[in-house]
Structure 1
Amino acid sequence: MCANFTDDDEGKRVVNANGEEIGIVQHVEGGSVHVDPDPGITDSIKSKLGWGDSDEDTYALDENNVESISDDEVRLRRL
């Protein structure tokens, strides 16, 4: 799937392939989505998403990691 993010996606939960919440879509800008990660998200998941170890407030989500977008969540592919 090629994700097409819109302003309507702001506030949606971001969940992994198992349905566990890993963050919330903070804002969409120019088709790019930025996620506010759940404080409990592990470093290994951050690494797989390319989010590194920095203490940024939000992180860009690569659309290649997105499996689907529904009315209330953005579901990621199995990492």
Structure 2
Amino acid sequence: MAATLTDDVVGKTVVDAEGKELGIVASVDRNRAAVDPNPSVAEHLLAKLGVEGEDEEDYIVTEDMLDAVGEEVVLRGNI
């Protein structure tokens, strides 16, 4: 089953296939997530509350880039 992006992943840590932390999910819109690569403590808490949104430093992750979604959002190694 393919990994999907839902509002439940907002605030979760995004890691690459080797486990390197890449940021947190700031927002989700359909099948894409905005990932904040350098979240402050405040931004992390706001994302957990669903208040944080996409900004200019965020990058986009789409469902086809995902390996798994669980405690962390894990990207595929061959992106």
Common fold, TM-score beyond 0.5?
yes
**In structure 2, what is the equivalent of residue 74 of structure 1?**
73
Structure 1 residue aligned with 2:3: 3
Secondary structure at the counterpart of residue 4 of structure 1: coil
- Cα RMSD over matched residues? 2.1
Number of paired residues?
63
Give the structure 2 partner of residue 46 of structure 1: none
CA distance in 2, matches of 1:60, 1:2: 18
* Percentage of matched positions with identical amino acids: 44
Deviation at 1:4, TM superposition (A): 1.6
Runs of 4+ in 1 over 6 A off after TM superposition: none
Write out per-residue CA displacement over residues 11-61 of structure 1, whole angstroms, 9 at most, x where no aligned residue.
00000111110111001122321101148xxxxxxxxxxxxxxxx321110
Whichever residue aligns with residue 26 of structure 1, its letter is A
Q: Scaled by the length of structure 1, what TM-score is found?
A: 0.67
CA contact 2:12–2:24 (8 Å) conserved in 1: yes
